[in-house]
Structure 1
Amino acid sequence: MTPTEGAPRQALSSYWALAVLFLTNVLNQGDRMLFGVVAEPIRTDLRLSDTQLALASGLFFVLFSLLGGVFIARHVDRGNRVRILAAGIALWSLATAWTGLAHSYLSLSLARILVGIGEATAFPVAMSMIPDLFRTEARGRAVSIYQSSNFVGIVGGTILAGVLAALMGWRSMFIVCGGAGLAVAALLALTVREPARARADDEPPVAYWTDLVTGFRAVLRIREVLYLSVGLGFTAMMGSVLGAWGPAFLIRLHGVELGQVGILIGPPVGLGGIVGTVASGFLADGVVRRTGRRNAMLRVSLVAVLLSLPFMAGFVFVREIQFALVCAGVMNLLLSAAIPPIMNYAIGLVGPRERGITATVVIILMGLVGGALGPAVVGAISDGWQAGHGAQALRYGLAAMLVSPIIAGWIIASVLRTADVRI
């Protein structure tokens, strides 16, 4: 019996657990936005180049988050997920506070690395717990509601970072936000119970390293998981770039003040993401019911990612800031709508004891392609063209990202043609 098939009290505890997972991911995504919003004052104070900023906020953060995720994955599938996530929140919150104390590129990079390792717990734990909290027919909506917390965090993080940095400086802003994270870790640990897993663990004990390698090998043999993970990377690439470079883009090319940048870009991007994410969950569930084919949910992702291209181009090239922000909001709505069906389908390809590892594989490939490659490419183009084009070099770096939805669409279409269609 799953938790939601029992007494009403169990159902209420499932919804409370989802609400707290939602809050932890708001914190997770909000913390990620802090750095991008204050990238300009950090660059000025520490005398960094755009490439150094991109490495600290993108490659270093993502790479160590992914490496941490590899070792955390099997613990998620075998251990107490609530405790694992609470420890992760505490780690990334302390590292966020440490970011405010950084006085060199090395200390800044180390702080970002620790934030990344702590945040490696969030997605695998949530994707492992949600199927144990909700029945199959409600799971798509639960996943989409959880995913919408990304954009609540984006709205809150961008607005809070801009306002607090303008009032008290970027260093104090990081320290305050780190302290708030410790409170969320305590709420999770004290109020959420570890849910019963979908089936009893009747497998014989296996050494950790053997179990870890065996689990990853099993997941990596599933071609659809690999393809969809890379497709997610290209789908999420512009979102990662927007978080890393969107505030700097508005400051440099549209003349927006630091205290206003979060207020301007946060609401359209965040609200677009919330609407797109929640709507796609309901749309995907409806398409699967009507067609009787589980992979039909990927149609929602395919249409959404391709429709995002003209709005992406509008954000990069439109000169009027009002239209640029509208384009950013619609673009993020569509890109956000593409992500939950892909994640839901990929996680559904494995059994309950492989969800943590599968979620980690998804995050590794998605993070390397979208979170690390995208911002780094933009930073390198901006630095390389700075001498001849000035502030416009950042616009050209963002323009290079216009190929990402085309590649993502091609990958999703390839899986749709070949994937198993049975529910």
Structure 2
Amino acid sequence: MTSQDPAGPGTRAGATLVALFLANTLSWGDRALLGVVVDPIKRDLLLSDTQMSLLNGAIFIAFNLVAGVAISHWVDRGNRKFILLVGVAIWSIATAFIGAATGFASLATALVLVGVGEATVFPVALSMIGDLRVPAERPRAVAMFQAGTFVGLVGGSILAGVLAAAHGWRWMFVMCGVGGLVLMVAMVFAVRDPARRTDGLSLDATADGDARGAIGRVLTTPGFVPLSLGIGFLGTVGAVLGAWGPAFLQRSHHVPLAEVGAVIGPAVGISGIAGTVIGGVLATLLVRRRGSARAGLLVPLIATPLATPFLALFVFAPTLTGAMTATAMMTFLISLGVAPCFALGSDMVSHRVRALASTLMLFAFGLIGSAMAPFVVGLVSDVLAPGYGTESLRYGLATMIVTPAVATLLLLFAYRRLTDLAPRLRDPATAAVFH
């Protein structure tokens, strides 16, 4: 095997990377479905904004993240292809069963299973990418994988709006669940589990025999915690757009249900894909040019604070055109930094805990971005609803304007802390790359 293709023949490695991209696309596409049909589900099941924010945020994310930590320990030791296939099957079947929900409890149960199934994708992907690509190439590979997030959000939003308008939200979930099972069958033939490699920017590679010890090792890595928290605050913009963007457009800009996905999808998707890919390429160039792994963090450190005025414009723009223009700009700027952060975080630790490290980063991403942020928006919306009516959601969204600044400060702290890594690296030849 060559360093360029550790998984074997190029077509095999390429097919695996494409399959990982499609799995991520499917995962985020399914997550987008509920956000598009918030109002129809609220009416049919008699739920509040707070309950919907719990369903689309805290409940889903809590089980997704807890399951992810356990699964990641399995991923670092087990057959990654098998784990991924089981995950796709679980969340696709659970997505179909959302269509049979009769109330809060049954809807929550189905979403918990979706969250558990989707918890397999990220640790499997970052673990495999670490074996499919050499360290300097990983930011770009992670960026291509992460681009599936926005492809899924676009496709899921558009598909959900069209299918829900034509067949109702229940059948929309059933059809999307069946589509996931079709992809799972294709992945049986496309995915290959590559041999695990030990090169790269890794810390002490002694075996971590138990999950608690492994978690402790990862969390004590200098810079890892602020990096993960920064990733969490980076995730608030995308999570809130997915959970509340369609409802905001329907309530404040009067966009019809059948059209809401087509309106918000391209603004988020095209700019998100462009930002993710460009961010990965820029980070790769910076790492090569400066000979420093932490150089990739310069991308979010510059781009993230620039998103703040566009987030404010999205919330308070008087016209739909202004809101969508702001959405595109803030999504582009935020997405520039996501792949460099995740790529660096997985390179900061031993290959033996790479999946666990990626899941802990995702834990922060999900807890802060996907759970807390949508919940805060929904809660504020409910509290202000008696005085502001449908416009209360606008002021709930306004609470997120400070999050890019918080993310920037955390990433800056992580950038400075990464200089402490060099003495802890076992191989002196790799130490200099962090300076």
TM-score of the aligned structures, taking structure 1 as reference length: 0.96
Q: 3-state SS of the aligned residue for 1:109? A: helix
Matches within 5 A, 1:65-84: 65-84=64-83
Q: Distance in 2 between matches of 1:118 and 1:10?
A: 30
Give the residue type in structure 1 aligned to 2:191.
V
Instruction: Please report how far the alpha carbon of residue 313 of structure 1 lies from its aligned counterpart in structure 2 after TM superposition.
Output: 0.8
Aligned residue number for residue 241 of structure 2? 242
Give the residue type in structure 2 aligned to 1:267.
P
Q: 3-state SS of the aligned residue for 1:78? A: coil
Q: Distance in 1 between matches of 2:121 and 2:292?
A: 30
Q: Distance in 1 between matches of 2:268 and 2:191?
A: 30
Does 2:228 match 1:233? no
Q: Distance in 2 between matches of 1:418 and 1:117?
A: 33
Instruction: Please report how far the alpha carbon of residue 355 of structure 1 lies from its aligned counterpart in structure 2 after TM superposition.
Output: 0.6
CA offsets, 1:68-98, max 9 Å, x none?
1121111100000011011001000011001
The answer to whether the Cα contact below 8 Å between 1:3 and 1:132 also exists between their aligned partners in 2 is: no
Aligned residue number for residue 22 of structure 2? 23
Instruction: Please report how far the alpha carbon of residue 366 of structure 1 lies from its aligned counterpart in structure 2 after TM superposition.
Output: 1.6
Aligned residue number for residue 332 of structure 1? 331
Q: Distance in 2 between matches of 1:198 and 1:257?
A: 51
Q: Distance in 1 between matches of 2:6 and 2:290?
A: 29
The answer to whether the Cα contact below 8 Å between 1:57 and 1:244 also exists between their aligned partners in 2 is: yes
Q: Distance in 2 between matches of 1:188 and 1:215?
A: 30
Unaligned runs of 5+ in 1: none
Matches within 5 A, 1:204-283: 211-283=210-282
Q: After the TM superposition, which parts of structure 1 deviate over 6 Å for at least 4 consecutive aligned residues?
A: 203-206
Matches within 5 A, 1:144-163: 144-163=143-162
Does 2:105 match 1:100? no
Does 2:4 match 1:4? yes
Q: Distance in 2 between matches of 1:300 and 1:2?
A: 30
More off after superposition, 91-100 vs 187-196: 187-196
The answer to whether the Cα contact below 8 Å between 1:3 and 1:10 also exists between their aligned partners in 2 is: no
Aligned residue number for residue 357 of structure 1? 356
Judged with a 3 Å threshold, the aligned counterparts in structure 2 of structure 1 residues 89 and 345 are, in CA distance, closer, same or farther, namely same
Judged with a 3 Å threshold, the aligned counterparts in structure 2 of structure 1 residues 181 and 290 are, in CA distance, closer, same or farther, namely same
Instruction: Please report how far the alpha carbon of residue 134 of structure 1 lies from its aligned counterpart in structure 2 after TM superposition.
Output: 1.4
Query: Over the residues paired in the alignment, what is the CA RMSD in angstroms?
Result: 1.7
Give the residue type in structure 1 aligned to 2:358.
A
Judged with a 3 Å threshold, the aligned counterparts in structure 2 of structure 1 residues 16 and 283 are, in CA distance, closer, same or farther, namely same
Matches within 5 A, 1:71-220: 71-199=70-198, 211-220=210-219
Give the residue type in structure 1 aligned to 2:300.
S
Aligned residue number for residue 382 of structure 2? 383
Instruction: Please report how far the alpha carbon of residue 2 of structure 1 lies from its aligned counterpart in structure 2 after TM superposition.
Output: 5.0
The answer to whether the Cα contact below 8 Å between 1:229 and 1:362 also exists between their aligned partners in 2 is: yes
Q: 3-state SS of the aligned residue for 2:255? A: coil
The answer to whether the Cα contact below 8 Å between 2:6 and 2:133 also exists between their aligned partners in 1 is: no
The answer to whether the Cα contact below 8 Å between 2:222 and 2:417 also exists between their aligned partners in 1 is: no
The answer to whether the Cα contact below 8 Å between 1:46 and 1:103 also exists between their aligned partners in 2 is: yes
TM-score of the aligned structures, taking structure 2 as reference length: 0.93
Instruction: Please report how far the alpha carbon of residue 137 of structure 1 lies from its aligned counterpart in structure 2 after TM superposition.
Output: 2.9
Q: 3-state SS of the aligned residue for 1:416? A: helix
CA offsets, 1:171-224, max 9 Å, x none?
000000000101111111222111100049xx9998xxx521221111111141
Does 2:263 match 1:298? no
Give the residue type in structure 2 aligned to 1:328.
T
Give the residue type in structure 2 aligned to 1:114.
L
Aligned residue number for residue 55 of structure 2? 56
Q: Distance in 1 between matches of 2:336 and 2:112?
A: 29
Q: Distance in 2 between matches of 1:327 and 1:234?
A: 19
Aligned residue number for residue 408 of structure 1? 407
Q: Distance in 2 between matches of 1:279 and 1:328?
A: 18
Q: Distance in 2 between matches of 1:291 and 1:165?
A: 50
Instruction: Please report how far the alpha carbon of residue 332 of structure 1 lies from its aligned counterpart in structure 2 after TM superposition.
Output: 0.6
| Identical residues among aligned pairs (%) | 45
Give the residue type in structure 2 aligned to 1:331.
M
Aligned residue number for residue 396 of structure 1? 395
Q: Distance in 1 between matches of 2:317 and 2:375?
A: 23
